[in-house]
Amino acid sequence: MRPCVVAVSTISKVPVSSAALPNTASISNGLRAWPWYVLAIAVIGLDQYTKALATATLHYGQPLPVWSWFNLTLQHNTGAAFSFLSDAGGWQRYFFTAIAWVVSSVLVVWIYRLPRGHNLLALSLALILGGAIGNVWDRMMLGYVVDFISVHYQNSYFPAFNLADAAISAGAVGMVLDSFRVRSPADEQVIKE
């Protein structure tokens, strides 16, 4: 229960109880979620632009060294993030497409219902949403996901990835950081509704 604070209205000079004022931290984003959707669309656009640029300028499988630990290497990934299940035989295209659409739908609703002021979580969800749709677009249109970022240390290579994978990873880190945030009972009530 919130403490009752008495304020004076600047319009009518009548005392107003804080119990009558809405707790903005417990009001969901609703239509104010649009900046997070714009961010997700920007992630999709940047991801698709960089993939098109990589496809147009890089030769498949031939690394282009940028720094001693960083190459641009065009790869076609038929699996999930970081080439997981890429050798599974083709069924994974439909499986990962279906999962991505379900997750994306859940994220759209989650961002909409998220209480105002939960900016780190909203940012994280928007990054994951944009990354998921960026990769599912490739999977639906091409049958594979275009990867082109390759990092390594000496002869140990991390699986090639793209900006959508990076956005999903950054969003996941943001969600972990947000999980340490202290929540009010009002926030929890809005999330449950």
CB atoms within 10 A of CB 56: 8
The torsion angles phi and psi of 116, rounded to 5 degrees, stand at -60, 145
Helix (H, G, I), strand (E, B) or coil at 178: helix
Q: Which helix (H) or strand (E) holds 174?
A: helix 163-178
Which residues does the annotation mark as catalytic? 147, 165
3-state SS string over 105-173?
A: HHHHHHHHHCECCCHHHHHHHHHHHHHHHHHHHHHHHHCCEEEEEEEEECCEECCCECHHHHHHHHHHH
Q: List beta partners, residue 74.
A: 60
- List of residues 6+ apart from 82 with CB closer than 8 A: 158, 159, 161, 165
Place of tokens 């999977």: 139
